[in-house]
Protein backbone atom coordinates (compact mmCIF):
# COMPACT_ATOMS: atom_id res chain seq x y z
CA UNK A 1 0.00 0.00 0.00
CA UNK A 2 2.81 2.36 0.93
CA UNK A 3 4.55 1.41 -2.29
CA UNK A 4 1.42 2.18 -4.31
CA UNK A 5 1.16 5.54 -2.59
CA UNK A 6 4.81 6.35 -3.30
CA UNK A 7 4.37 5.35 -6.95
CA UNK A 8 1.47 7.72 -7.32
CA UNK A 9 3.33 10.49 -5.54
CA UNK A 10 6.12 10.20 -8.15
CA UNK A 11 5.33 12.07 -11.39
CA UNK A 12 6.54 9.42 -13.82
CA UNK A 13 5.22 6.70 -11.52
CA UNK A 14 1.76 8.26 -11.76
CA UNK A 15 1.78 8.28 -15.56
CA UNK A 16 3.51 4.91 -15.91
CA UNK A 17 1.30 3.27 -13.30
CA UNK A 18 -1.87 4.57 -14.95
CA UNK A 19 -0.77 3.35 -18.39
CA UNK A 20 0.16 -0.10 -17.09
CA UNK A 21 -3.09 -0.40 -15.11
CA UNK A 22 -5.10 0.64 -18.16
CA UNK A 23 -3.32 -1.85 -20.39
CA UNK A 24 -3.90 -4.59 -17.82
CA UNK A 25 -7.63 -3.83 -17.81
CA UNK A 26 -7.70 -3.85 -21.64
CA UNK A 27 -5.75 -7.12 -21.70
CA UNK A 28 -8.11 -8.78 -19.23
CA UNK A 29 -11.15 -7.49 -21.13
CA UNK A 30 -9.63 -8.92 -24.31
CA UNK A 31 -8.98 -12.27 -22.64
CA UNK A 32 -12.48 -12.69 -21.20
CA UNK A 33 -14.06 -11.71 -24.51
CA UNK A 34 -15.27 -8.20 -23.66
CA UNK A 35 -14.23 -6.92 -27.10
CA UNK A 36 -16.47 -4.81 -29.37
CA UNK A 37 -16.48 -7.64 -31.95
CA UNK A 38 -15.15 -11.18 -32.27
CA UNK A 39 -11.44 -10.54 -33.04
CA UNK A 40 -11.32 -13.45 -35.48
CA UNK A 41 -14.66 -12.75 -37.17
CA UNK A 42 -14.24 -11.63 -40.80
CA UNK A 43 -16.79 -9.00 -41.81
CA UNK A 44 -16.28 -9.56 -45.54
CA UNK A 45 -18.44 -6.64 -46.70
CA UNK A 46 -16.56 -4.19 -44.49
CA UNK A 47 -13.00 -5.04 -45.52
CA UNK A 48 -10.52 -2.16 -44.94
CA UNK A 49 -13.29 -0.06 -43.44
CA UNK A 50 -12.02 3.24 -42.01
CA UNK A 51 -12.56 3.91 -38.28
CA UNK A 52 -16.27 4.51 -37.59
CA UNK A 53 -18.86 4.15 -34.86
CA UNK A 54 -19.18 0.42 -35.56
CA UNK A 55 -15.48 -0.26 -36.00
CA UNK A 56 -13.69 2.16 -33.68
CA UNK A 57 -10.29 1.54 -35.22
CA UNK A 58 -11.43 0.31 -38.62
CA UNK A 59 -11.10 -3.17 -40.09
CA UNK A 60 -8.20 -5.03 -41.72
CA UNK A 61 -7.81 -6.69 -45.12
CA UNK A 62 -9.93 -9.66 -44.01
CA UNK A 63 -12.61 -7.42 -42.47
CA UNK A 64 -11.60 -8.16 -38.88
CA UNK A 65 -12.21 -5.44 -36.29
CA UNK A 66 -8.90 -3.73 -35.49
CA UNK A 67 -9.98 -2.50 -32.02
CA UNK A 68 -10.88 -6.03 -30.92
CA UNK A 69 -7.69 -7.43 -32.40
CA UNK A 70 -5.70 -4.72 -30.66
CA UNK A 71 -7.25 -5.74 -27.33
CA UNK A 72 -6.36 -9.41 -27.67
CA UNK A 73 -3.05 -8.37 -29.21
CA UNK A 74 -2.21 -6.44 -26.06
CA UNK A 75 -3.31 -9.44 -23.99
CA UNK A 76 -1.14 -11.74 -26.10
CA UNK A 77 1.91 -9.45 -25.85
CA UNK A 78 1.38 -9.15 -22.10
CA UNK A 79 1.08 -12.91 -21.61
CA UNK A 80 4.34 -13.50 -23.48
CA UNK A 81 6.15 -10.68 -21.67
CA UNK A 82 4.91 -11.57 -18.20
CA UNK A 83 5.55 -15.29 -18.64
CA UNK A 84 9.02 -14.79 -20.06
CA UNK A 85 10.05 -12.24 -17.43
CA UNK A 86 8.67 -14.51 -14.67
CA UNK A 87 10.72 -17.42 -16.04
CA UNK A 88 13.84 -15.28 -16.42
CA UNK A 89 13.41 -13.95 -12.86
CA UNK A 90 13.11 -17.42 -11.34
CA UNK A 91 16.08 -18.74 -13.33
CA UNK A 92 18.09 -15.61 -12.52
CA UNK A 93 17.33 -15.90 -8.79
CA UNK A 94 18.33 -19.57 -8.65
CA UNK A 95 21.51 -19.12 -10.71
CA UNK A 96 22.53 -15.80 -9.12
CA UNK A 97 21.90 -16.89 -5.50
CA UNK A 98 23.68 -20.22 -5.86
CA UNK A 99 26.56 -18.60 -7.75
CA UNK A 100 27.02 -16.08 -4.94
CA UNK A 101 26.54 -18.65 -2.18
CA UNK A 102 28.74 -21.51 -3.41
CA UNK A 103 31.34 -19.33 -5.12
CA UNK A 104 34.51 -20.80 -6.67
CA UNK A 105 34.03 -23.06 -9.69
CA UNK A 106 30.23 -23.00 -9.65
CA UNK A 107 30.25 -19.21 -9.64
CA UNK A 108 32.90 -19.12 -12.36
CA UNK A 109 31.04 -21.57 -14.57
CA UNK A 110 27.68 -19.83 -14.23
CA UNK A 111 29.00 -16.33 -14.75
CA UNK A 112 31.10 -17.30 -17.82
CA UNK A 113 28.04 -19.05 -19.26
CA UNK A 114 26.05 -15.86 -18.67
CA UNK A 115 28.83 -13.85 -20.37
CA UNK A 116 28.46 -16.11 -23.40
CA UNK A 117 24.70 -15.51 -23.51
CA UNK A 118 25.11 -11.77 -22.97
CA UNK A 119 27.60 -11.69 -25.83
CA UNK A 120 24.76 -12.18 -28.30
CA UNK A 121 22.50 -9.43 -29.54
CA UNK A 122 19.17 -10.29 -27.86
CA UNK A 123 17.21 -10.61 -31.06
CA UNK A 124 19.77 -12.95 -32.67
CA UNK A 125 19.81 -15.30 -29.70
CA UNK A 126 16.01 -15.36 -29.63
CA UNK A 127 15.97 -16.03 -33.39
CA UNK A 128 18.36 -18.94 -33.01
CA UNK A 129 16.19 -20.53 -30.31
CA UNK A 130 13.02 -20.01 -32.29
CA UNK A 131 14.45 -21.62 -35.41
CA UNK A 132 15.42 -24.64 -33.31
CA UNK A 133 12.06 -25.13 -31.64
CA UNK A 134 9.79 -23.60 -34.29
CA UNK A 135 7.85 -20.35 -34.01
CA UNK A 136 4.95 -19.94 -31.61
CA UNK A 137 3.78 -18.24 -28.46
CA UNK A 138 5.54 -20.47 -25.95
CA UNK A 139 8.71 -20.58 -27.98
CA UNK A 140 8.85 -16.78 -27.79
CA UNK A 141 8.35 -17.02 -24.04
CA UNK A 142 11.27 -19.43 -23.76
CA UNK A 143 13.47 -17.46 -26.11
CA UNK A 144 12.85 -14.12 -24.38
CA UNK A 145 13.32 -15.69 -20.95
CA UNK A 146 16.59 -17.23 -22.10
CA UNK A 147 17.81 -13.89 -23.40
CA UNK A 148 17.07 -12.00 -20.18
CA UNK A 149 18.15 -14.65 -17.65
CA UNK A 150 21.80 -13.45 -17.65
CA UNK A 151 20.69 -9.94 -16.68
CA UNK A 152 18.68 -11.21 -13.72
CA UNK A 153 21.50 -13.52 -12.70
CA UNK A 154 23.85 -10.54 -12.57
CA UNK A 155 21.34 -8.36 -10.73
CA UNK A 156 20.92 -11.06 -8.07
CA UNK A 157 24.53 -12.21 -7.77
CA UNK A 158 26.10 -8.80 -7.07
CA UNK A 159 24.06 -7.79 -4.01
CA UNK A 160 23.87 -11.44 -2.88
CA UNK A 161 27.67 -11.56 -2.68
CA UNK A 162 27.71 -8.65 -0.24
CA UNK A 163 24.66 -9.90 1.70
CA UNK A 164 26.39 -13.24 2.20
CA UNK A 165 29.05 -11.62 4.40
CA UNK A 166 26.59 -9.66 6.55
CA UNK A 167 26.17 -10.40 10.25
CA UNK A 168 22.53 -11.45 10.09
CA UNK A 169 23.43 -14.20 7.63
CA UNK A 170 26.22 -15.39 9.92
CA UNK A 171 23.78 -15.25 12.82
CA UNK A 172 21.25 -17.36 10.92
CA UNK A 173 23.98 -19.86 10.16
CA UNK A 174 25.00 -20.14 13.82
CA UNK A 175 21.34 -20.69 14.74
CA UNK A 176 21.51 -23.73 12.49
CA UNK A 177 19.12 -22.43 9.81
CA UNK A 178 19.16 -24.59 6.72
CA UNK A 179 20.82 -23.34 3.55
CA UNK A 180 17.51 -23.14 1.70
CA UNK A 181 15.99 -21.13 4.53
CA UNK A 182 18.85 -18.65 4.62
CA UNK A 183 18.84 -18.27 0.85
CA UNK A 184 15.10 -17.84 0.55
CA UNK A 185 14.31 -15.83 3.69
CA UNK A 186 17.40 -13.85 4.55
CA UNK A 187 19.00 -13.32 1.19
CA UNK A 188 16.11 -13.27 -1.27
CA UNK A 189 13.88 -10.98 0.78
CA UNK A 190 16.67 -8.42 0.79
CA UNK A 191 16.89 -8.60 -2.98
CA UNK A 192 13.25 -7.78 -3.59
CA UNK A 193 13.89 -4.08 -4.17
CA UNK A 194 16.47 -4.35 -6.98
CA UNK A 195 14.50 -7.24 -8.47
CA UNK A 196 11.26 -5.26 -8.59
CA UNK A 197 12.95 -2.48 -10.55
CA UNK A 198 14.59 -4.97 -12.89
CA UNK A 199 11.34 -6.87 -13.45
CA UNK A 200 9.48 -3.71 -14.46
CA UNK A 201 12.21 -2.60 -16.87
CA UNK A 202 12.55 -6.15 -18.24
CA UNK A 203 8.80 -6.15 -18.97
CA UNK A 204 9.38 -3.16 -21.22
CA UNK A 205 12.22 -4.94 -23.07
CA UNK A 206 10.22 -8.15 -23.28
CA UNK A 207 7.33 -6.27 -24.90
CA UNK A 208 9.84 -4.77 -27.34
CA UNK A 209 11.44 -8.14 -28.15
CA UNK A 210 8.08 -9.88 -28.47
CA UNK A 211 6.88 -7.22 -30.87
CA UNK A 212 10.10 -7.58 -32.88
CA UNK A 213 9.84 -11.36 -33.09
CA UNK A 214 6.18 -11.28 -34.10
CA UNK A 215 7.02 -8.59 -36.63
CA UNK A 216 9.59 -10.90 -38.23
CA UNK A 217 6.91 -13.61 -38.29
CA UNK A 218 8.61 -15.74 -35.65
CA UNK A 219 6.44 -15.02 -32.61
CA UNK A 220 2.68 -15.28 -32.35
CA UNK A 221 1.26 -16.99 -35.42
CA UNK A 222 -1.80 -15.90 -37.41
CA UNK A 223 -4.78 -15.89 -37.09
CA UNK A 224 -3.94 -14.94 -33.49
CA UNK A 225 -3.25 -11.24 -33.02
CA UNK A 226 -0.21 -9.65 -31.47
CA UNK A 227 0.97 -6.07 -31.77
CA UNK A 228 4.09 -6.91 -33.79
CA UNK A 229 2.15 -9.20 -36.10
CA UNK A 230 -0.51 -6.53 -36.71
CA UNK A 231 2.21 -4.09 -37.74
CA UNK A 232 3.81 -6.59 -40.05
CA UNK A 233 0.39 -7.17 -41.67
CA UNK A 234 -0.06 -3.39 -41.99
CA UNK A 235 3.25 -2.95 -43.80
CA UNK A 236 1.97 -3.26 -47.34
CA UNK A 237 -1.37 -1.57 -46.71
CA UNK A 238 -0.33 1.53 -44.84
CA UNK A 239 -1.01 4.01 -47.59
CA UNK A 240 -4.44 2.59 -48.24
CA UNK A 241 -5.37 1.92 -44.61
CA UNK A 242 -3.15 3.98 -42.26
CA UNK A 243 -5.27 2.99 -39.24
CA UNK A 244 -3.80 -0.51 -39.52
CA UNK A 245 -0.38 1.03 -38.86
CA UNK A 246 -1.12 3.89 -36.51
CA UNK A 247 -3.14 2.16 -33.78
CA UNK A 248 -0.87 -0.84 -33.14
CA UNK A 249 2.23 1.37 -33.47
CA UNK A 250 1.03 3.72 -30.76
CA UNK A 251 -0.26 0.83 -28.66
CA UNK A 252 3.25 -0.66 -28.58
CA UNK A 253 4.92 2.68 -27.93
CA UNK A 254 2.63 3.72 -25.11
CA UNK A 255 2.70 0.28 -23.48
CA UNK A 256 6.49 0.14 -23.39
CA UNK A 257 6.60 3.76 -22.27
CA UNK A 258 4.32 2.88 -19.35
CA UNK A 259 6.63 0.15 -18.10
CA UNK A 260 9.72 2.31 -18.59
CA UNK A 261 8.20 5.19 -16.61
CA UNK A 262 7.04 2.84 -13.86
CA UNK A 263 10.48 1.22 -13.75
CA UNK A 264 12.18 4.60 -13.43
CA UNK A 265 9.82 5.61 -10.65
CA UNK A 266 10.36 2.33 -8.81
CA UNK A 267 14.11 2.78 -9.08
CA UNK A 268 13.84 6.21 -7.51
CA UNK A 269 11.59 4.93 -4.74
CA UNK A 270 13.25 1.61 -3.91
CA UNK A 271 16.88 2.48 -4.54
CA UNK A 272 17.55 5.90 -3.01
CA UNK A 273 21.24 5.75 -3.97
CA UNK A 274 20.48 6.02 -7.67
CA UNK A 275 17.89 8.74 -7.24
CA UNK A 276 18.06 11.01 -10.22
CA UNK A 277 21.02 9.08 -11.64
CA UNK A 278 19.35 8.68 -14.99
CA UNK A 279 16.40 10.97 -14.93
Partner 1 sequence: MNYLTRRLVTFPVVMLGVSVLVFVSIRLVPGDAITAMLGTEAGLLTPAQRASLETYFGMDQSWFGQYWHWLGGVLQGNLGISVTYGRPVLDVILRVFPLTLELALLSMIVALAVGLPAGVYAATHAERPSDLIVRIVAMVGQSTPSFVVALLAIYALSVWFGVLPAMGTFTPLWEDPLKNLAQMILPALTLGFAFAAAVTRISRSAMLDILSDDYIRTARAKGVPARSVIWHHALPNALIPVVTVSGVEFGYLLGGAVIVEQVFALPGLGRTVLDAILQRDYALVQGACCSSRLIS
- Name residues contacting partner 1, limited to 66-85 (CB under 8 A): none
- Least Cβ distance, residue 21 to partner 1 (angstroms): 17
Residue among 35 and 84 whose Cβ is closer to partner 1: 84
- Least Cβ distance, residue 74 to partner 1 (angstroms): 15
Cα–Cα nearest to 209, from 126, 110, 115: 126
- Name residues contacting partner 1, limited to 158-177 (CB under 8 A): none
Task: Please tell me whether residue 106 binds partner 1 under the rule CB under 8 A.
Answer: no
Residue among 12 and 198 whose Cβ is closer to partner 1: 12
- Least Cβ distance, residue 58 to partner 1 (angstroms): 15
- Name residues contacting partner 1, limited to 236-265 (CB under 8 A): 238-239, 242, 245, 249, 252-254, 256-257, 260-261
Residue among 28 and 127 whose Cβ is closer to partner 1: 127
Residue among 131 and 178 whose Cβ is closer to partner 1: 131
Task: Please tell me whether residue 279 binds partner 1 under the rule CB under 8 A.
Answer: yes
Binds partner 1 by CB under 8 A, chosen from 1, 45, 53, 119: 119
Q: What is the DSSP string of the chain?
A: -HHHHHHHHSHHHHHHHHHHHHHHHHHHHHHHT-SSS-TT---GGGTTPPS-SSSTT-B-TT--BHHHHHHHHHHHHHHHHHHHHHHHHHHHHHHHHHHHHH-HHHHHHHHHHHHHHHTS-HHHHHHHHHHHH-SSHHHHHHHHHHHHHHHHHHHHHHHHHHHHTSHHHHHHHHHT--HHHIIIIIIGGGGHHHHHHHHHHHHHHHHHHHHHHHHTTSSSPTTS--HHHHHHHHGGGTTT-THHHHHHHHHHHHHHHHHHHHHHHHHHHH-GGGTTTT-
Task: Please tell me whether residue 134 binds partner 1 under the rule CB under 8 A.
Answer: yes
Task: Please tell me whether residue 48 binds partner 1 under the rule CB under 8 A.
Answer: no
d(CA 267, CA 248): 29
Instruction: Find the part of the chain contacting partner 1 (CB under 8 A) among 44-52, 111-119, 164-172, 177-185.
Output: 111-119
Task: Please tell me whether residue 151 binds partner 1 under the rule CB under 8 A.
Answer: no
Residue among 25 and 253 whose Cβ is closer to partner 1: 253
Cα–Cα nearest to 200, from 261, 149, 157, 145: 261
Q: Which residue ranges make up the site for partner 1 (CB under 8 A)?
A: 12, 112-113, 115-117, 119-124, 127-129, 131-132, 134, 204, 208, 211-212, 215-216, 228, 231, 234-235, 238-239, 242, 245, 249, 252-254, 256-257, 260-261, 276-279
Amino acid sequence: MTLLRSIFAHPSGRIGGTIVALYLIIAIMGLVGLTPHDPLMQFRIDRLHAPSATYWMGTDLLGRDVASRLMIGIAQSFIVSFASVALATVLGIVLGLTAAWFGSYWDGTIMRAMDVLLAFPAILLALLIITIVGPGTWTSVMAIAFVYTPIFTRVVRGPALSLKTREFVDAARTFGSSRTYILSRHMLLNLVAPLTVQVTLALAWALLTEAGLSFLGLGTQPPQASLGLMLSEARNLMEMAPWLLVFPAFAIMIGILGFNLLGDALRDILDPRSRGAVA
